[in-house]
């Protein structure tokens, strides 16, 4: 009704005058008493193109008088923003580059679950800079908790190294078929993505072995030992 009243004040405009009958009706209580959805939609379509013609109300000018106490400005340079699409392309480019250099000492250490040194991380950063920009490498480092884990996520863990990591855990134990399949699934994921966080053991696909995840498949002490092995695999990718 307020919009209609404002339009009515501009009746000299031909476009508004053409809808004046509707504009006047909308301002009455009778029009709204038995209003229907089609009526509202019809009014909306007829008046939406006229709203910009409503004269802006005059407003009082506000004057201020104060001293700027912020001080001297300082220019701060930010790294260029990396979009998700750009980062996805960088990941694929880095993956192909690292596959071509998988026998490089630092990459080989990651694939075979050998501990990294600070020098290895420096080499990994140098290699990634050949595949992308500094901003992309920085984002990879932040999102993966370090360059070592990022590179490991691209090249994976050698299956033999993953099996060897659990050798001590399995020694002297007679596991059930369900438990062995659970371990095999972990090894599959390590081979593909290089690491498995303990929280993942309570999510699909591990919950297909038990609704409780790892707690429903192994005993308490065994769960602690299994998670310790996963943490050690992860830590070896961090210098």
Which sequence spans correspond to the domains of the chain? 2-53, 84-155, 159-235
CA pair distance 217, 167, nearest whole angstrom? 18
In three-state secondary structure terms, 110 is helix
Distance CA 113, CA 109 (A): 6
Give pLDDT tens digits along the chain (239 positions).
888 888 888 888 888 888 999 999 999 988 998 888 888 998 988 888 888 777 765 456 778 887 777 777 777 766 567 788 888 999 999 999 998 998 999 999 999 999 999 999 999 999 999 999 999 999 999 988 899 999 999 999 999 999 999 999 999 999 999 999 999 999 999 999 999 999 999 999 999 999 999 999 999 999 999 999 999 999 999 86
Q: Using omega within 30 degrees of 0 as the cis cutoff, is the peptide bond preceding 205 cis?
A: yes
Sign of CA pseudo-dihedral 190, 193, 197, 201? negative
Contact 104, 151 (CB under 8 A): no
The DSSP call for residue 122 is H
Helix (H, G, I), strand (E, B) or coil at 143: helix
């Amino acid at each position: 009704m307020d919009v209609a009243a404002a339009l009515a004040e501009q009746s000299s405009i031909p476009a508004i005058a053409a809808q004046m009958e509707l504009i006047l009706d909308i301002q009455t209580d009778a029009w709204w008493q038995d209003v229907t959805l089609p009526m509202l939609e019809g009014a909306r379509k007829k008046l939406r193109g006229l709203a910009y013609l409503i004269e802006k109300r005059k407003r009082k000018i506000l004057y201020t008088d104060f001293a700027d106490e912020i001080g001297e400005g300082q220019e701060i340079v930010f790294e260029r923003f990396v979009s998700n699409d750009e980062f996805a392309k960088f990941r694929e480019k880095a993956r192909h580059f690292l596959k071509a250099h998988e026998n490089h000492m630092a990459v080989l250490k990651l694939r075979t679950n050998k501990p990294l040194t600070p020098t290895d991380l420096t080499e990994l950063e140098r290699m990634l800079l050949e595949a992308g920009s500094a901003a992309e490498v920085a984002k990879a480092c932040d999102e993966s908790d370090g360059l070592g884990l990022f590179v490991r996520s691209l090249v994976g863990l050698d299956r033999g190294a993953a099996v060897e990591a659990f050798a001590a855990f399995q020694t002297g134990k007679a596991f059930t078929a369900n438990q062995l399949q659970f371990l095999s699934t972990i090894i599959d994921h390590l081979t593909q993505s290089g690491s498995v966080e303990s929280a993942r053991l309570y999510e699909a696909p591990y919950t297909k072995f038990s609704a409780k995840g790892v707690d429903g498949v192994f005993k308490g002490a065994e769960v602690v030992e299994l998670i310790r092995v996963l943490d050690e695999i992860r830590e070896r990718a961090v210098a």
